[in-house]
Structures are given as C-alpha cells and as structure tokens.
Amino acid sequence: MKPIPLILDCDPGHDDALAMILAAHNPALNLLGITTVSGNGGIAKVTLNARRVATLANIKVPIAEGAGKAILGAIEEASDIHGESALDGAELPEPKIELSALHAVDLMAKLIKDHSEPVTLVATGPLTNIALFLKMYPQLKNRVAEIVFMGGSASRGNRTPYAEFNIWMDPEAADVVLRSGLPLTMCGLDVTHQALVTKEIFTALEQMGTPLSSTIIGLLKFFAKTYDEVFEMPDPPLHDPVAIALLIDRSVVKSRHVNVQVELSGPLTRGATVVDIYQRLGEPANCNVALDLDFDKFWSMMLEAISKAAIKA
C-alpha cells in the first residue's frame, strides 16, 4: 500500500511532539509538512518547539508558522500543563530546520496542489489554520482526503467542565470544520484518555536507552507531574499521537459515525462538542468519533517510531 500523504498542523506541546515523531517515522505515512498554530503556547513558542523537535528527531519536512490567535481573536497558553516554553522538561537542540517563508495556510495549499493524490490533514491543536485553509482555498477542498483532529469529547471537557482545550480555544474554527462536508474523524478525550503513559511505558523508554528516549522521558515526566497536579492523573494521557495512529491502522480505535456539532454560545458550555451518540437530534452523521483505543497496538507503534527516529538521527 502507498503511504498516506498528510500534513500535521500542531501546537507543540508534549503530546504534539510525539505526534510529530509518529507521523514522520512510520512507513505507512508520508509526512509532507508541519504547520503550527497557537494553543499550548503562543505562536512563536510553538513554532520554535516544532523546529526543535524536528531537529531532535530527524524530521526533514517544511515547517510553516500559522495563526497566532483564534478566529475571534482569543489567545491563551496552556502553561499549567505544558510549562512556560510550552514544552518544558528537557533540553532541546537549537533548531537546524529553517522556517518556511510561507504562512501555514499557504504551505498547506501548496503541498496539496503539488501532490498527485488527495492529502489528509491532521490537526492536533486548535482548528484555526484548517478553517482558514477551507475558507481561503475552497477550490482545493476536493484535494483533501479527510481531516482527523484531536479535540472535543463525547462526555466531559478538560479546559472547562464540558469543553476540551483545542475546541474551546477556537470553537468557530471547529464549527467550520464540522460543517465542511469532508470526511472527518474526531479523536476526543474519550479515546485519548486511554493512551496513558503508564509506569510500564516509562520502563520501555528507559530500556530503549537512546539520547532521544531520555529526552522524551524528561518531557513526559514533566507532563506527568502537571497532569497529576491539575487533573489527578499521575499517568498522563498522550492525546495527540492517537490522531496519527489511527491513520496507520484504523483498528487501533473503535469509532461511531454520528452527528457532531460545537456549542458556540452557551455561557458555561462554549466550545463543547455535542456528540449525538444515540442520534436523538435527527441530524445527519458528519463525523467518525473515536471512542475506544487498542492500548497495546497504539504503544507498540509509538515506541517503534521513537526507536526509529533515534537510529536515523
């Protein structure tokens, strides 16, 4: 099978960094480019982090900086979870990868135009860049194979009681994506809270014994500490790579194809994804919602990618 061409739009971010590694180091995927969006940190921080992680993990694709604020102008950082740099916990190399002169949205358009087959967009941050791309390049919509995003929840949230962080940051962008008519897969907290970094995973990383695995241990220990402090979850959930893993092997998640809409106005529920599991609203299904994870399959892919990235480095 031909590798799946994809663009990763992200806001690194601990779990985004691991999503970059999985996207770049699995033979089933053909990573065409990485674009950044503000979320876990301001746009300058997350772009620098993306270039540092690419340097660290031997990822050689164009990287372009994207939106610095949400469609309605909101800016927030998740420093309570990801630290001041948005990627605290380990020394990262100075970036050797140049930043593209193009804006993220224009790089997406160029990569999609230049590729012979439809391209998959994976978003692991707020959906701002993806929504801007759909609005600015409507003629390229039929060149998008599908959109997979980490965000939302069929139950509770993590930024507010009902809204997950990525969707809460830019609900209007999520609304554009959910109404796009393109094939969509949502990897929300339901499934990503099963991708836990357990003690056994830390042991496997220690046994790998590469400089890259040691750096990742440092990053994930920081992430585990903040997750324990904020959410009482000592084994933190590695959200973002789940959106990549399901492209490599669809059987890594179990999904339901249902109607999903985003709450734009509720004073307490803005940014909540309304996932109609029992089809009570009578609205057409527009999104595959991943609900269950094959933990062993997921981690064997993730660990293999980390060990491959280290060998090539």
Which positions are catalytic?
Answer: 239
Q: Which entry of ligand BDR, Ca ion, none binds 263, CB below 5 to 8 A by partner kind?
A: none
- Kindly tell me which of 13 and 62 has the beta carbon lying closer to ligand BDR: 13
Q: Which two tokens stand for residue 74?
A: 């909101």
Among 5, 8, 15, 130, binds ligand BDR (CB under 6 A): 15
Residue 164 contacts Ca ion per CB under 5 A? no
Residue 100 contacts ligand BDR per CB under 6 A? no
Of 278, 301, 280, nearest in space to 289 by CA = 278
For residue 225, give the H/E element and its range: helix 211-231
Strand ranges, E, within 142-269: 144-150, 184-187, 253-262
Closest CB to ligand BDR: residue number = 165
Residue 13 contacts Ca ion per CB under 5 A? yes
**Region from 114-122, 129-137, 212-220, 237-245 binding Ca ion, contact rule CB under 5 A:** 237-245
Q: Which two tokens stand for residue 120?
A: 């998959």
Among 38, 166, 226, 259, binds ligand BDR (CB under 6 A): 166
- Cα distances from 69 to residues 128, 132, 260, in angstroms, run 8, 12, 24
Among 31, 59, 81, 212, binds ligand BDR (CB under 6 A): 81
Give min distance, CB of 238 to ligand BDR, in A: 9
Among 133, 165, 298, 299, binds ligand BDR (CB under 6 A): 165
Strand ranges, E, within 80-198: 119-123, 144-150, 184-187
What does DSSP assign to residue 238?
-
Residue 35 contacts Ca ion per CB under 5 A? no
Q: Are 112 and 119 in contact (CB under 8 A)?
A: yes
Strand order of the sheet with strand 4-10?
63-65, 29-36, 4-10, 119-123, 144-150, 184-187, 287-293, 253-262, 273-276
Give min distance, CB of 210 to ligand BDR, in A: 24
Among 40, 100, 185, 215, binds ligand BDR (CB under 6 A): 40
Please tell me whether the peptide bond between 73 and the residue prior to it is cis, using omega within 30 degrees of 0: no
- Kindly tell me which of 111 and 163 has the beta carbon lying closer to ligand BDR: 163
Residue 13 contacts ligand BDR per CB under 6 A? yes
Binding site for ligand BDR (CB under 6 A): 13, 15-16, 40, 78, 81, 124-125, 150, 158, 164-166, 239-240
